[in-house]
Amino acid sequence: MPRMEEEILKLLTALRGRTPLTPEKRVRDFQLKVQRIKNGEPAELEGFLLLRKPPHAPDDAVYYILSPLQPSDLQKASTTSYLILRITENSRISGSVRSGSYVRVSGFMDSYPYGTLRMLNVAELRGGDYSEYWLQYDEIALSKKEFENLFMDTIYASYDFEKAFLYSLFASPRIVGSNRKWGEGVTFSTFKDRDRIVLSIWEAVKYITGLFPRELSLRKEKRWHFVDEHLDLDFVAYLPETPVRYYSPFSRTVLKNEIPAPKWAFRYFKSKDAVFLTPKKAKILPDDPLAYLSEVPFILNEPVGYEKNRELEQLIPNVIATIFKERAKMASMSLGDRELRIFRERFEDWIMKNRMEYGEKFDALRLSGMLFETNTRFLLSTHLLGSMARFEGGLRRSTISDVLIINQEILDTWMNEIPPDILMKAVKDYERYISGDRRANIALGIFMDLEATSADGSVSREEFHSALIRYGFKGGDAAKIIERLLREGYLYEPFAGRLRMIK
Question: Which of these ranges, 117-131, 213-227, 306-320, 423-437, has the smallest mean pLDDT?
Answer: 423-437
Query: 165-223: per-residue pLDDT in tens?
Result: 999 999 999 999 887 889 999 999 999 999 999 999 999 999 999 999 999 999 998 88
Confidence of residue 114 (pLDDT cuts 50, 70, 90): confident
In the prediction, which pLDDT does 493 show? 74
Q: Which CATH number fits domain 22-135: 2.40.50.140, 2.60.40.1890, 3.20.20.110, 3.40.1170.10?
A: 2.40.50.140
Start and end residues for every CATH 3.40.50 domain found in the chain: 138-417
Nearest CA among 153, 180, 176 for reference residue 166: 153
Contact between 468 and 481 (Cβ < 8 Å)? yes
CA angle 14, 396, 353 (to 5 degrees): 130
Residue 95 — left, alpha, or beta (φ > 0 → left; ψ -120 to 50 → alpha)? left
Across all residues in the chain, what is the average pLDDT? 89
Question: Is the pLDDT confidence value at 59 over 60?
Answer: yes
Please compute the mean of the pLDDT values over residues 393-418 and round it to a whole number: 94
In the prediction, which pLDDT does 498 show? 85
In the prediction, which pLDDT does 9 show? 45
In the prediction, which pLDDT does 39 show? 95
* Cα dihedral 280, 449, 366, 273 in deg (nearest 10): 30
Question: Is the pLDDT confidence value at 5 over 70?
Answer: no
In the prediction, which pLDDT does 434 show? 60
Percent of the chain with pLDDT over 70: 94
In the prediction, which pLDDT does 103 show? 95
Which residues are CB-contacts of 337 (< 8 A; sequence separation ≥ 6)? none
Contact between 249 and 187 (Cβ < 8 Å)? no
In the prediction, which pLDDT does 433 show? 60
Confidence of residue 12 (pLDDT cuts 50, 70, 90): very low
CATH code of the domain occupying 138-417: 3.40.50
Please compute the mean of the pLDDT values over residues 405-430 and round it to a whole number: 93
Query: 341-374: per-residue pLDDT in tens?
Result: 899 889 988 988 998 899 889 988 987 789 998 8
- Architecture category of domain 434-501 in CATH: Orthogonal Bundle (1.10)
Confidence of residue 284 (pLDDT cuts 50, 70, 90): very high
Start and end residues for every CATH 1.10.10.10 domain found in the chain: 434-501
Please compute the mean of the pLDDT values over residues 319-347 and round it to a whole number: 92
Nearest CA among 411, 312, 311, 393 for reference residue 354: 411
Element containing residue 111 per DSSP (H, E):
strand 102-111
Query: 68-104: per-residue pLDDT in tens?
Result: 999 999 878 888 889 999 999 999 999 888 999 999 9
For residue 383, what are the CA distances in angstroms to 105, 186, 287, 376, 454? 36, 7, 20, 10, 15
In the prediction, which pLDDT does 472 show? 83
Please compute the mean of the pLDDT values over residues 306-318 and round it to a whole number: 94
Print the SS3 string covering 293-341: CCCEEEECCCCCEECCCHHHHHCHHHHHHHHHHHHHHCCEEECCCHHHH
Please compute the mean of the pLDDT values over residues 31-42 and round it to a whole number: 95
Query: 129-174: per-residue pLDDT in tens?
Result: 899 999 988 889 999 999 999 999 999 999 889 999 999 999 999 9
In the prediction, which pLDDT does 11 show? 46
In the prediction, which pLDDT does 16 show? 44
Query: 467-482: per-residue pLDDT in tens?
Result: 898 888 887 888 888 8
Question: Is the pLDDT confidence value at 496 over 80?
Answer: no
Question: Is the pLDDT confidence value at 495 over 80?
Answer: no
Please compute the mean of the pLDDT values over residues 487-496 and round it to a whole number: 70
Confidence of residue 503 (pLDDT cuts 50, 70, 90): low
Decide which of 440 and 80 is more confident.
80
In the prediction, which pLDDT does 4 show? 55
Please compute the mean of the pLDDT values over residues 435-453 and round it to a whole number: 78
Angle between helices 475-487 and 461-470 (to 10 degrees): 130
Please compute the mean of the pLDDT values over residues 367-395 and round it to a whole number: 91
Q: Is 113 exposed, middle or buried (0-12, 13-18, 19+ CB in 10 A)?
A: exposed
Q: In the beta sheet, which residues pair with residue 106?
A: 44, 124
Start and end residues for every CATH 2.40.50.140 domain found in the chain: 22-135
Please compute the mean of the pLDDT values over residues 421-431 and round it to a whole number: 88
User: How far is Cα 378 from Cα 29, in angstroms, rounded to an integer?
Assistant: 46
Confidence of residue 119 (pLDDT cuts 50, 70, 90): very high
